[in-house]
Amino acid sequence: MAGCGFHLEGSTPLPPSLAVVHIDTSDTQSDFYFGLRKALMAAGTRIDDEGRDEASAVIHILNDSSPLPRTLTVSTLNVPTEYELTYKISFSVTVNGREVIAPEEHSLVRDYSYSENAQLAKERESAILSQALAHDLVSVVMRRLASLSAGAAHS
């Protein structure tokens, strides 16, 4: 199985240059930030929270915009019946002061139906969707980080 490139989720092999990472972000409370920390640690990376010189790699979270609902459809009574959530992140990566991933933006969109009769359930559904979008964006970033080792192997 190892020869085909298959890896269990959360066990993405990262290059040695990402053994110690500092995550540079202004929002340390977002779903994306927590998910990225968890995924990096699952991959064997140590997180340098203080940003000391021991971290050779820095992941710069340039934008982490938590999803805001946008109305997609309304009923005949002008009550929203469907919303859309868009979660956007942008990031770059430097290793030893050299940019190895230029700033890039990723966004994911999900929609969900809404009913006034189930308002609390729908608010919870919105929160769950937001967490799922953050998780999916973490997977995108982890694949980009893993591609650094593939690129290093071909260099």
* pLDDT range class, residue 67, cuts 50, 70, 90: confident
For 83-95, the pLDDT digits (tens) are: 888 999 999 999 9
Q: Is 26 exposed, middle or buried (0-12, 13-18, 19+ CB in 10 A)?
A: exposed
Q: In angstroms, rounded to a whole number, what is the distance separating the alpha carbons of residues 152 and 155?
A: 5
CA end-to-end span of the chain: 25
pLDDT of 9 over the 70 cut = no
| CA pair distance 86, 69, nearest whole angstrom | 7
Q: Decide if pLDDT at 52 tops 50.
A: yes
- pLDDT, mean of residues 103-123: 76
Architecture of domain 15-154: 2-Layer Sandwich (3.30)
Top-confidence range, 2-6, 39-43, 53-57:
39-43
